[in-house]
Amino acid sequence: MEIAIIKYNAGNVQSVQYALERLGYNATVTDDYAAIQRADKVIFPGVGNAYSAMESLKEKNLDEVIKQLTQPVLGICVGMQLMCNHSEENNTTGLCIIDLNVKKFITEDKKYKVPQMGWNNIYNLSSPLFEGVKENSFVYYVHSFFAEYGKETIAISDYIIPYSAVIQKNNFYGVQFHTEKSAEVGDKILLNFLNLK
């Protein structure tokens, strides 16, 4: 199986690559259009600022390449957020693959800190992506922005409000949490993604 991890200036590519190696898979980190289009599975990671990440994709014309992919694609963290229509982070227009918007966590409640950092549970799991994953399993988050809940939501987390932990439209999947830092649950979700037809 050929796995491509999209290389651009905002990807946490090494930790994703190590997670795949731990599971027994080799992945190519690449910004080569042909290699990305040819891959059986594509992983679209991201950390940091949505606006600068989007600008980096545009510079390499990877925004257009990603939109045209027909194989399973997994966006992680900022990669997931960029699949959406718009992010409040620096007023960023996304790839408009998934019809959701990304908002900033806002609260006056002192018990909530922004960014959300640490473990939180996911529930309402409704996809082959969660084969063998129990309701209310815990995954690892670091984020100040979230995709709102909508019809493309296939798993939910609560922090201040319920939001999209995992989204899907056609062959595009996105997880807000870091699969590569989410222990056995993250590994299982990554394996399930690799096994998608």
Instruction: Write down the catalytic residue from 84, 89, 152, 180.
Output: 180
* Contact status, residue 91 vs residue 120, Cβ threshold 8 Å: no
Active site residue 96: no
Q: Where are the beta strands (DSSP E) in the chain?
A: 3-6, 28-30, 41-44, 73-76, 84-87, 92-93, 98-104, 116-122, 137-143, 145-147, 153-159, 161-169, 172-175
Active site residue 143: no
Active site residue 84: no
Instruction: Write down the catalytic residue from 77, 84, 143, 152.
Output: 77
> Which among 141, 137, 163 has a CA at the least distance from the CA of 150?
163
* Contact status, residue 82 vs residue 167, Cβ threshold 8 Å: no
Which of the residues are catalytic? 77, 178, 180
